[in-house]
Structure 1
């Protein structure tokens, strides 16, 4: 089995003032919270955004595992739509210490390179900072953090840095190389 070297970068913001907003893209782009917990929809977003960049950790999850994730208090999924079609998503996961993690963020391949990603990330970070307003049992957000890796899209790290995230840790490890699954097994991209 062949391996690949993967570098993971951890980035954070420690104040809402750290956010540097991206310009809104042209066209009819709307960002809407997926308020109904739907494992089918969440798996669609995950597999469709991550299929060509080797997101595989959740592909084997059962329906119950997806439902358990979506039912966690404060977990939110915000979806960008281009003229009614899902273009990408950002998934927020609060932690008990006041941190909010951007668990997943990205665009479906057909929507990359159109300035939607910076806008969606800006919106997602704003929602991370005001998460306690929608989830009263959660503490106020003290920190927003994310990790990205060398397997992610080529513009991911630049987008995070342009939005005001700062690097706080880097890790490198060897991982088993996996076939790019595409949005569903055997599809390719």
Structure 2
């Protein structure tokens, strides 16, 4: 059991508090329209497309790194799995969002990654995209739709997910190697997260 008080974080690590959220029935939803000139589409991504959108949506601003740490074969296996569905929002031929639904667990769907590039934040696109996630998740025979967010993600993320019907069910502390020190992301990524050099 973790005792109360402060606990040192080793140099070279990133530490976050992760909140796990879920919904066990489809909620009532507020309408959300796509901004003018923006299209929603499903993607069958290759590695280059996926790593690019992952980095632009979450890597640089919010220090997303989980999928960037995977070997090509491991990431390809996820992207090719029929239980994984990936969607984006496109404007003027540029993809600006990532929504990843993972149905690989029987009876459940995980919103594995969800985010917008900065160009779409504040346009209403997030409401539209989360509505699509909820609708698509609950068209399958599931009893649980769940996700994780953490303290280095957008400060609006936790409130947004609760507002659309997800409920917090547990928290955990995650400690990981700092991807900036490994060269997975540039040192300018996640400027709100201190870098503790060894």
Q: Secondary structure of the equivalent of 1:170? A: strand
Counterparts of 1:22-33 in structure 2, within 5 Å, are 22-33=31-42
Residue equivalent to 2:20: 10
Residue equivalent to 1:123: 132
Flag structure 1 segments of 5+ consecutive residues without an equivalent. 133-139
Residue equivalent to 1:111: 120
Give 1:44 deviation, angstroms.
1.4
The separation in 2 between residues aligned to 1:105 and 1:74, in whole angstroms, is 17
> Of 45, 57, 61, which residue of structure 1 is paired with 2:70?
61
Residue equivalent to 1:164: 165
**TM-score (ref. length: structure 2):** 0.78
The count of corresponding residues between Structure 1 and Structure 2 is 178
Give 1:143 deviation, angstroms.
1.3
Q: Is the 8 A contact 2:109 2:145 kept in 1?
A: yes
Q: What do the CA deviations read for 1:121-173 (whole angstroms, capped 9, x no partner)? A: 1111211112x4xxxxxxx1221111101111122112211211111112235
Flag structure 2 segments of 5+ consecutive residues without an equivalent. 1-10, 190-198
Give 1:95 deviation, angstroms.
3.3
Give 1:114 deviation, angstroms.
2.0
**TM-score (ref. length: structure 1):** 0.81
Q: Is the 8 A contact 1:53 1:153 kept in 2?
A: yes
Note the aligned Cα RMSD (angstroms): 2.6
- Does residue 143 (structure 1) correspond to residue 144 (structure 2)? The answer is yes
Q: Is the 8 A contact 1:118 1:159 kept in 2?
A: no
Residue equivalent to 1:42: 50
The separation in 2 between residues aligned to 1:158 and 1:50, in whole angstroms, is 18
Write out the 4+ residue segments of structure 1 that deviate beyond 3 Å after TM superposition.
2-5, 172-181, 184-189
The separation in 2 between residues aligned to 1:65 and 1:178, in whole angstroms, is 18
Q: Secondary structure of the equivalent of 1:58? A: helix
Give 1:10 deviation, angstroms.
1.0
- Does residue 90 (structure 1) correspond to residue 99 (structure 2)? The answer is yes
The separation in 1 between residues aligned to 2:107 and 2:138, in whole angstroms, is 10
